[in-house]
Each structure stands twice: as C-alpha cells, then as structure tokens.
Structure 1
Amino acid sequence: MPKPSEFAVHLLLKGGHREEVRFPTIQDFQKWYSSELMPKATSDDFITVPIKNLQGEYMVARPSSILAIRVEPVFSSSVDRF
C-alpha cells in the first residue's frame, strides 16, 4: 500500500468559509488536534493553525468556529492525472 506524501486537512468554518492546511504526517495532525484544538474546542480565543507549506505565513482561528474537519491523504506521483 502506498504511503501518503502529506495530509490535506480541510476546515469548514462558521459562515461557510473553508480553509485547507497540510501536515507532513497524520501524527503531526493528531498532535495538533489533541494538544491545541480539542482542549479549547468551545473557546473563542484564537489558536494557531500550522501552515507548514507557506513560508512566513500563519493562520489563527477560533476553535469554536470550526464546524467540521476532513482529512485527506495526498499521494505524490510521477503520473500527471490532469
């Protein structure tokens, strides 16, 4: 079974906004989720959402405004599918 190159995490926010952030491993996502997001799930205080693929940029979000999360494995391939 092939190993994903990274994981795209899609955040559905209140108001219909959507954001995508990427994590290099599922363990990195699980660590952020369990240590940052879940303990403050009902909070209106901002938390940092890691954006590892964009140099010099960062994102903050209110945990209470995150309505849904979808985790998608991303496979890099030598075959162009477009």
Structure 2
Amino acid sequence: MPRTPSEFAVHLMLDGGHREEVRFATIQDFQKWYSSELMPKSASDDFISVPMKNLQGEYMVVRPSRVLAIRVEPIYFGSVDRDF
C-alpha cells in the first residue's frame, strides 16, 4: 500500500543562486498555483505572490522570469527515522 505524503516542499531555484522553500498541503494546491500564477506569467518581470501558508505574517514575491527550476519533494510525517 503506497503512503500518502503529509505535504509537499517546493524548492524554487532562482536566478543568482538563491533557493527558497515553500510548502503546499497537497500536490493539487501546488499545481493550481503553478498553472494559474506562475506559468501564464513565466516571461514576466512583474512580481507574483508565492503562497506561504505555514508562516504567519510573512509573504514572498518573485519575478516569474527569474525562476530557473522547481523541485517538488513529498514530505511524510510520522515515518520512522532509520538512520543507522
């Protein structure tokens, strides 16, 4: 039986070597933001908002044209740490 991720960490690799991590509750939440906010404005130098639901009072904006790569990592809570 496959495990279901508790949330998804999205790593944004930005122009200039900066990296940022944003968390989404579901892959569908990420896909909705990606397809409705980031992709339509991918060549734009105007700022777009990046949802940061896990940090109160903080927000992040990026220029879509400066996002070079995105890595999506599933996060599993409650899994056993098996470092030997």
| TM bucket normalised to smaller | over 0.9
Larger radius of gyration: 2
Name the TM-score, length of structure 2 as normaliser: 0.93
| Matching residue of 1:52 | 53
Deviation digits for residues 33-74 of structure 1, max 9, x if unmatched? 000000000000000000110011000000000000000000
Three-state SS of the structure 2 residue aligned to 1:69 is strand
| Residue 31 of structure 1: how far off its partner (Å) | 0.1
| Matching residue of 1:11 | 12
Unaligned segments of structure 1, at least 5 residues? none
Name the TM-score, length of structure 1 as normaliser: 0.95
Q: How many residues align?
A: 82
| Residue 79 of structure 1: how far off its partner (Å) | 2.8
In proportion to residue count, which structure has more helix? Answer: 1
Q: Which runs of 4+ in 1 moved over 3 A?
A: none
| Matching residue of 1:35 | 36
AA paired with 1:72? E
How many angstroms apart in 1 are the aligned matches of 2:42 and 2:25?
23
Unaligned segments of structure 2, at least 5 residues? none
